[in-house]
Each structure stands twice: as C-alpha cells, then as structure tokens.
Amino acid sequence: MVPHLVTAVNGPLLDLEKKILEATPAIERWFRLEWQEHTPPFYCSVDLRNAGFKLAPVDTNLFPGGFNNLSPEMLPLAVQSAMAAIEKYCPDAKNLLLIPEGHTRNTFYLQNVSRLMQIFRQTGLNVRLGSLSPEVKEPTTIELPDGATLTLEPLERSANGRRLGLKNFDPCTILLNNDLSSGLPSILENVNEQNLLPPLHAGWAVRRKTNHFAAYDEVIKKFAKLIDVDPWMLNPFFMKCDDVNFNEHTGEDRLASNVDTLLAKMRKKYKEYGIKEKPFVVIKADAGTYGMGIMSVHDASEVKGLNRKQRNKMSVVKDGLEVTDVIIQEGVPTFEHINESVAEPVVYMIDRYVVGGFYRVHADRGNHENLNAPGAHFVPLAFAHQHALPDYQAKPGTAAPNRFYIYGVVARLALLAASLEMEKTDPNPEVY
C-alpha cells in the first residue's frame, strides 16, 4: 500500500525531517497541550505541497469529501477517531443526521457520503441523510456503482421550531458535509438544542482563507521556535487583495502590485537558501473550494490584461459565487511524483487524529499548477499503524513512514490553525 517514493528528500527538507523526527516527543506533547486549550474541528482535510526545500499546507477543508479515497485498512482508525469526536459533543448519541452536498449525479462524491455513513454507523449511530435541496420532497433513493444505495430525505424543523431532523428521526448531532458556498440556509439557523458540526461560520458563506492562514502564521511561529527551524520552511507567504473585479478590470493594478511584493519576498528567501527554482504565486478566491478560481503567476504583468477565458475562470467559483476578494499565496512547487505524474499529498483527520490520506495525482499538470482539477486521480497513503510510526533507523530522506509522519505533523498544524480560526471568527464566542 505504500507508494514508491520516486524522489528522496535532500537539501533543506532533509534537515527539517531530521529536526522533526528528533523532536517527536516534544512535538506530540506540544500538540497534546494545545488540544487542552483548543477544540479541533470535527473533521478536516489538508492539501500539502512538498517542494523538497519546504513543506507547507496550501488549503484546509473543513467539509472534506474524498473519504472514499482512503485505504480500507484505515477504516478502524477512522471509526475510533469518530467515536472520540462524537463523545465530546454527545456521549449518549444515538442518531446522527448527515447533510451532504447536492451533487446527486457525482458518484465519486456519493461514495464519500457512503463511506462516512459506514464510519459513523460503526461508532454505534443510526445515520440518515437530510437534503438541503428543495427538489427532495420525499425520500429519494440513489444507486451507487458498487451496488450500494443512499436515501436522501427532506429536512424538517420540529413543531416548536427549535430542532432539526427528518420525519420520525430526531438526531442529537447534525453533521454537515456541505460547505455552504451558496449561503446559509434558513433551515439551519437557530438550531440551538442540537450540535451542528462544523458550525455555520465554518462554511464558505462566512469563512475566508486569509483568516485561516493568519491563524496558521500564529501556530507556525510557536512550532518553529519549538523545533528551531525557519518558519518559512513550513509556511507559505500570503497577502489579501479586496475589491477585485476580473470582468471589469478593476483592482488589477493593486493586485499586480501585491503580486510583485510577494514575489520579491520569495526571491529573497530563495537566494538565502540557494534555491534555483523560479518563484511563482497562486491567486485564488478567498472563499470557496473545488479548485475553482485559481491561477498560477510568475510575474506581476500576467494579472493585467487577462483574456476573456481567464477572466471568466477567475470571476466565479462554486455555486456561481462571484469573486471579489482573493488570496495571493506563495506558490509551492511539488516534487512528489507517482509513475511520472505530478502528485501532492492530502491528509485526512477526524477530531485531532490523522486517519489517512492520499496522493492527488494529475498526469496533465505541471509541478507549479493546481492539481485539484478534472483528470486527477488518487493513490491512497498508507498511514496504517505500521507506517504511522517513524522509522528512526532509516537513512534520512528515504523512508515512507518518516515522510508520512511529517505530513501528519504539518496537517495537524493546519488543523490547529483551523481551530484558532473558528474561535476568532465565531459570531457567538460565549459558546466556547
């Protein structure tokens, strides 16, 4: 199950790997203490980029799809972690209402929903699916390619209006696997007697990537001090640019100026570490997901005078949401390959535990490009018990378990940042 590591670690990342492995007891204790102060998101996936000279998260998803891409060997670990997560919110939980995305024709996504139901049923919960779609007016059964079926049911508010459930089904916990890109549905508001996970302000109607990476900045400063490394080794520079309208060419000069500033910062770091790569930045919508509204830029001039196709691509994301605010993020090239194709690791967590992951692989994309695009395929990462433990005897830079352990550490740093981000953006902070 372990993908062959075509590219062994060398240079600065080799030093980082050694430092993290040597500091493992201190790192695990540090995480344990942090989780006493902060509550991890219910579940989370983190896209990482391993450049060979730095390893950094580039996106953190609080409504992860893709559980169907994890290796079956990881399921027992996912079940244990889900049990730990549920016990925090509702120790005597009996019923779980899962609210998925409206992608009823996307069989890959529906297999993810099926896998989630499998995990939570194994924790001792009755799991049913509630749909936000107004088209679902009665129980609707969908067949999956593997012969399994899913039944979507219309949501109902209780007679007193304070609880949300289905006909003859009253859950204590409601789990969203819908990122609320198109706004906050009124049926989900003022659900005060049940646990709604993740909270509404984790959805893209409210959440902003720049808030997340500002929180990650805080986390990484503390962590880098703990293991004595340059924070930049684990952290992509970023800037925010508001009030950009790609279709009307407004805000382009400001955007170009910010791109210039960020590239100059990167060149300085590249020079410091003797990195010969050409720096690039990634411009993406500050809210939203699914790899939409993203472009890679090597020079500020590239954001001026975009053609119509480029402007259309950048101006709208999922659910037709218009883009006005963008994050300009340091581009982290990936040096990971699977069978000649460019790859990047994606790590999955439930509660504070790593429960698996996969390499996102794309044969038609380069190492500077976004791989979250049509044509990508997935190779499971074996974070199974025998591989999750670092191999201290291995020659540095060559052992898959060591690389996977480091992926898990960096993903948990992003998870901790998401926890801080949720605290800071909570509209009702007294709940904490």
**How many CB atoms neighbour CB 427 within 10 A?**
9
Q: Are strands 377-381 and 353-362 parallel, antiparallel or unpaired?
A: antiparallel
Structure tokens at 366: 């380069």
The pLDDT value recorded for residue 398 is 62
**How many CB atoms neighbour CB 424 within 10 A?**
12
The pLDDT value recorded for residue 386 is 44
ω into residue 345 within 30 of 0, thus cis? no
The pLDDT value recorded for residue 281 is 96
**How many CB atoms neighbour CB 222 within 10 A?**
13
| Contact assessment for residue 90 and residue 121, using Cβ atoms and an 8 Å cutoff | no
Q: Quick check: pTM over 0.85?
A: yes
Q: How deeply is 317 buried, as exposed, middle or buried, from its count of CB atoms within 10 A (0-12, 13-18, 19+)?
A: buried
What letter does residue 303 receive in the DSSP assignment? G
The pLDDT value recorded for residue 288 is 77
Q: Is 243 left (phi over 0), alpha (psi -120 to 50) or beta?
A: left
Render 342-357 in DSSP notation, one character per residue: EEEEEEEEETTEEEEE
| Contact assessment for residue 42 and residue 175, using Cβ atoms and an 8 Å cutoff | yes
Q: What are phi and psi of 254, to 5 degrees?
A: -65, -40
**How many CB atoms neighbour CB 394 within 10 A?**
13
The pLDDT value recorded for residue 339 is 83
Structure tokens at 403: 């690389």
Render 191-253 in DSSP notation, one character per residue: --SSEEES-GGGSTTT--HHHHHHHHHHHHHHHHHHHT--GGGG---EEEE-S-BTTTTBTHH
Task: Report the distance separating Cα 114 and Cα 130, nearest Å.
Answer: 13
Tell me the longest C-alpha to C-alpha distance in the chain. 67
pLDDT tens, residue order, the chain (432 aa): 344 444 444 566 778 888 999 999 999 999 999 999 999 999 999 999 999 889 999 999 999 999 999 988 889 999 999 999 999 988 888 999 999 998 778 899 999 999 999 999 999 999 999 999 988 999 999 999 889 999 999 999 998 888 999 999 999 999 999 999 888 999 999 888 899 999 999 999 899 999 999 999 999 999 999 999 999 999 999 999 988 887 777 788 899 999 999 999 999 999 999 999 999 999 998 987 666 678 899 999 888 877 778 777 777 766 666 778 899 999 999 988 888 889 999 999 999 999 999 999 999 998 888 888 888 899 887 654 444 567 766 666 666 778 888 999 999 999 999 999 999 999 877 643
Structure tokens at 115: 């896998």
pLDDT digits (tens, 9 = 90+) for 296-324: 999 998 888 777 787 777 777 666 667 78
